[in-house]
Structure 1
């Protein structure tokens, strides 16, 4: 989803119109062609690289939003892919905020879960709650009740949710999204040097193929 889609989705929801899953991904003219991915078509190479958070490793960053239906649909394939990454590759998720709410609340959910070591247990459940159960999860009381229902200590969660550490991480996420010139999600940044997305690659599944290509390219220092 790009920024315009996010705005349309939020307006539609406020008017009781289209649901979260009804905003379609715009068809791309940059579909992955036969052979190797093409720079400027299937991926972007930055003239000035972004500094990776894990020096010595090839870093892959997923940019996502819990409210994005495409991120929700992409998650199973992405999760299976990242579990098979080789030892020289590190993967991390970065929740983004294109406006204050509900984006920031969803960012704070992720970072609070990360602080508590509950991302693996709860990440998919948050997506499910929003997209299948139509929960908004944008107010602390609602979020805390959801966490308690799923076995997470609500008091500890809220402490992490409101912590200085979580606030700092949301600001860092905003800076990283700006550095990658992010205009939609889901998207992947590779080693601070490359960027691809479903619209560039053609589909979200092909985005993973492009990322594999860019991981190999990063090994050669290209």
Structure 2
């Protein structure tokens, strides 16, 4: 029998209950492939050891912005069997400047410092943040090293060698078969999302996010068994 509950999962279930969300077991039993998550036909190449969870997102995505409220506290309490990272999608022209911003800040090791400010600027202050000068105007007062940002931004020119990192991220998103964001890729084998994990239910953004994390924990705890 597959393992459904651990102490770690219990913590998320408590948070879900506090948010008024029925527990997964009470609502519908164990998550089901094809309904609450998708299993890839073949596992993507993965490093041995910890199971990696990747959040594919876009700064300009309203659902990604809403997901932050439950995702970030969860990331701070990851168990030792799991590692986590963000990956910004590309694609449409309006998305690409945000993707380049993400990878510039990530390369500098400071994306986590400015993440909430970027989401707030786009979704609360309605800034486009599609030009480097606008990004600098927002982030410099918050401590951005402008000279380092400019050089890093230039190095990530998609037409040059610096664009390799962005290309790799795009290929990973394609390999996972994303059909929207936010999406969580789990160990190169599964995907789920707030909308996918709450299929058939009418949940708000907070509840849908909690449900996606519950499904993610279930898949990590039962990796390769379901």
TM range (shorter): 0.7 to 0.9
CA displacement at 1:75 relative to structure 2: 0.5
RMSD of Structure 2 on Structure 1 (CA) = 1.8
Deviation of 1:55 after TM superposition, in Å, equals 2.9
Q: Which residue of 2 aligns with 1:147?
A: 139
- Contact in 2 for aligned 1:145/1:154 (Cα 8 Å): no
Secondary structure of residue in 2 paired with 1:189: strand
**TM-score (normalizing by structure 2):** 0.78
Decide which of 165, 169, 172 is 1:173's aligned counterpart: 169
- Where 1:195 maps in the other structure, the secondary structure is strand
Deviation per CA, 1:110-129, whole angstroms, max 9, x where unpaired?
A: 11111111122111111011
Instruction: List runs of 5+ in structure 1 lacking aligned partners.
Output: 1-30
Correspondence for 1:55: 48
Q: How many pairs align?
A: 189
Q: CA deviation at 1:162?
A: 2.1
Q: 1:102 Cα shift?
A: 2.1
Tell me what 2:189 maps to: 193
Report the alpha carbon displacement of residue 166 of structure 1 after superposing the two structures with TM.
Answer: 5.2
Which residue of structure 1 aligns with residue 213 of structure 2? 208
Aligned twin of 1:44 = 38
Report deviation, 1:135.
Answer: 1.0
**Counterpart for residue 124 of structure 2:** 132
Q: Distance in 2 between matches of 1:159 and 1:145?
A: 16
Instruction: Select between 140-149 and 76-85 the one with higher mean Cα deviation.
Output: 140-149
2 CA distance for matches of 1:51 and 1:123?
29
Decide whether the 8 Å contact of 1:66 with 1:127 is kept in 2. Answer: yes
Q: Which runs of 5+ in 2 are unaligned?
A: 1-23, 199-207
Match of 1:88 in 2: 81
The partner residue of 1:110 within 93, 98, 102 is 102
Runs (4 or more) in structure 1 with deviation over 2 Å come to none
Pairwise CA distance, 1:149: 2.3
Q: 1:166 to 1:72 in 2, by over 3 A?
A: farther
Q: Distance in 2 between matches of 1:34 and 1:74?
A: 22
Alpha-carbon separation, structure 2, partners of 1:190 and 1:46: 10
Is contact 2:71–2:209 with CA below 8 Å preserved after alignment? no
